[in-house]
Structures are given as structure tokens and as C-alpha cells.
A and B are shown apart, each in its own frame.
Chain A
Amino acid sequence: AQSVAQPEDQVNVAEGNPLTVKCTYSVSGNPYLFWYVQYPNRGLQFLLKYITGDNLVKGSYGFEAEFNKSQTSFHLKKPSALVSDSALYFCAVRDRTGGFKTIFGAGTRLFVKA
């Protein structure tokens, strides 16, 4: 069965420190990979995506993600966290041949402390 795992319910990091939010997936073929962020009382906002090519993808607000095919992972990273990065982060995958369905992880809450 296709699935997305975000192993950490919550990640805590101090402002200015690097952050990583983990994501692994189980999807056949070469899926498209996405990260979204959700702020309180808002919908999800797109951060970045991986289609093909360079394994390091850069996105909005200084975020980047590293694709690792052998480990089927797509971890979200940022070199220096901001308090305003505190939010709920979702990893998502989409099978290139599987129709319209995007599978989302359960989300990881990021707390950045000043």
C-alpha cells in the first residue's frame, strides 16, 4: 500500500539553528514529492517539490529538501530557523501514474524557540 511517514509528531529547535523535518515514503515508481506548510487557522501552502534531477530542491522561505532514492526519503531542511517558521509541515507524494490522488503524511509540528 502507498504511504507517507513523518516519524516525528513534533520537532523543537532554537532560533538560528538548522532544522530538519523527516519524511519517508512507500510509493511505486518515481513519485512526485511535495512539502506543504500550514499556519494556524489557514490552509496548506506549497513550499517545494521534487520532480527529477538534482536531489537538493530549493523552495520558499529559505527551505530546501533532499531527495534520497535509495532510502525513499525527502527530508525538509533549513540552515537557520526563524520563530516565524513555527507551523505544521506536511510531506506529500503523488504517483506519476496513479491518477489524481496525493497522499499526505500526518504532519510534523515545528516549534522554533527564540
Chain B
Amino acid sequence: ETGVTQTPRHLVMGMTNKKSLKCEQHLGHNAMYWYKQSAKKPLELMFVYSLEERVENNSVPSRFSPECPNSSHLFLHLHTLQPEDSALYLCASSQVAGQDSNQPQHFGDGTRLSIL
């Protein structure tokens, strides 16, 4: 299996539930990203991990908690979400050398999250 795989593809949860989104990349990349995509809005970068260390955290509410146990796996743990958190959550990976990289990001197909 190649590329970036996200599971589940769809998730419906209540505001009090706890769930996790999973991302796995088979490209040998050393950086992984979580994005939020809402209708008619630019992609919002949530978190970046480089070499399993978090390097970006863009003022994301604490109800979203990332985890990167190794360079191939990335999780987004969800707890007590709000209706406005309903969106498509995209995972991406890329190869970076320090902080200067012209390599494109490779995206998974996303998890469509609906909060009841």
C-alpha cells in the first residue's frame, strides 16, 4: 500500500464522545500535518510534526490533541467537540530538510467529521 491513508473516512459523533482519527503514510517522509477543511474557507493548518516532534501548533482548541508515535503514524484525538468542528480533516506528509523544503505535501483523502 502506498501514499497516505486516513481512517475512518466518515465519523459521526456526539459532543460528549471521545474518538480518534488515524493517519498512516507509506512514503518515507519525515513530516506530517493535520489540516481542517471547511466549506469556502482556506485550509487551516492545525499541527505539524517533524521527526516526531511537534513544530507547529496554530492556536488549536485543546479538545483536539495530536499524537505522533513514529514517523509513519499520526493521530488526532477528539474530545468534547462542538458543532462548528464539523469539517473534513486532512492529513498530509512531506519530506523536509530543516525548515527549508520545496517538496510538495501528499494528502490523504480525509475524514469527514460530523458533530451532532
Q: Which of A's residues lie within 8 Å of B, judged by CB?
A: 4, 9, 32, 34, 36, 41-46, 49, 51, 90, 94, 96-107
Contact = CB atoms under 8 A, between A and B. Distances in A.
A43 B108 CA distance: 5
B104 A100 contact: no
Contacts of B104: 34, 36, 46, 49
B99 A97 contact: yes
Contacts of B99: 97-100
B113 to A, nearest CB: 14
B109 A41 contact: yes
A98 B102 CA distance: 12
Interface of A is mostly: loop
Interface in B101-116: 101-102, 104-110
Nearest to A103: B42
Interface string B62-91: 000000000000000000000000000010
Contacts of B21: none
Contacts of A45: 107
Name, among A49, A96, A101, the residue most crowded by chain B CB atoms within 10 Å (CB to CB). A101
15 contacts: A32-B102, A43-B6, A43-B109, A43-B110, A44-B105, A51-B102, A100-B31, A100-B50, A100-B55, A100-B56, A100-B96, A101-B48, A101-B56, A102-B105, A106-B40
Contacts of A43: 4, 6, 90, 92, 107-110
